[in-house]
A and B are shown apart, each in its own frame.
Chain A
Amino acid sequence: DAGVTQSPTHLIKTRGQHVTLRCSPISGHKSVSWYQQVLGQGPQFIFQYYEKEERGRGNFPDRFSARQFPNYSSELNVNALLLGDSALYLCASSYSGSFGEKLFFGSGTQLSVL
């Protein structure tokens, strides 16, 4: 069975550009969440989606947006990139989005902003 897949694995952008990151959850999982991980820190929550609706949003500016599609895959969009957006972006899926469930993570997209 395929796990959570993310694309691309690596990405280099320049300041001011826009980026779209993609995530496909485990088959049957209806919830996707996004995390930003900066070296030396734990992952920080960005968004959670369940059944195509935003269920939670972390403390990130409006430059960050996301959506979930009918097949439960998800996109994270970041506009007007800043140097500080350089990080590993992790996607995780779960069946119902309850925090009493384990999350299943993808391998992440490493974003470098120059």
Chain B
Amino acid sequence: ILNVEQSPQSLHVQEGDSTNFTCSFPSSNFYALHWYRWETAKSPEALFVMTLNGDEKKKGRISATLNTKEGYSYLYIKGSQPEDSATYLCAFNNAGNMLTFGGGTRLMVKP
């Protein structure tokens, strides 16, 4: 069983704050790391898929980095807005036939 850990489990920030959270995964047999945003009452939405060590991806105010050798990825949100409130999920694949999700980080941005 693969262990994918996300921290923190939940986070409260003020509008305008920048924040980041972590996804830890096994460092062997890496194939891909996914990030999804899941807003309440909606479907999970893909943010990034990263496959190379050192990958950095950016989408607006959200960016992610990847370190496959040490088994972690960071997700950064610059200048958080209330609409960023959601659960952020990471998911890991080791070239096997499944995607293993972490437990998610629940972000709440207060206006």
Contacts and interface: CB of A to CB of B under 8 A. Distances in A.
Given A40-B103, A105-B44, A55 B1 contact: no
Interface residues of B, number: 27
Contacts, number: 62
Interface string A35-58: 100001111110010000001111
A100 B32 contact: yes
B46 A99 contact: no
Given A42-B89, A43-B89, A59-B1, A102 B46 contact: yes
Contact of A42 (B45, B49, B103): B103
A90 interface: yes
Max chain B C-beta neighbours (<10 A), residue from A45, A59, A90, A101? A45
Secondary structure class of chain A's binding surface, majority of residues: loop
Contacts of A105: 36, 43-45
A107 B91 CA distance: 18
Contacts of B42: 107
Contacts of A90: 43-44
Max chain B C-beta neighbours (<10 A), residue from A59, A101, A102? A102
Contact of A99 (B4, B31, B36): B31
Interface of A: 3-4, 33, 35, 40-45, 48, 55-59, 90, 92, 99-108
27 contacts: A33-B99, A35-B101, A40-B103, A42-B4, A42-B6, A42-B89, A43-B89, A44-B101, A45-B98, A45-B99, A56-B98, A92-B44, A99-B31, A99-B32, A99-B93, A99-B99, A100-B31, A100-B51, A102-B49, A103-B34, A103-B36, A103-B99, A104-B46, A105-B44, A105-B45, A106-B43, A107-B42
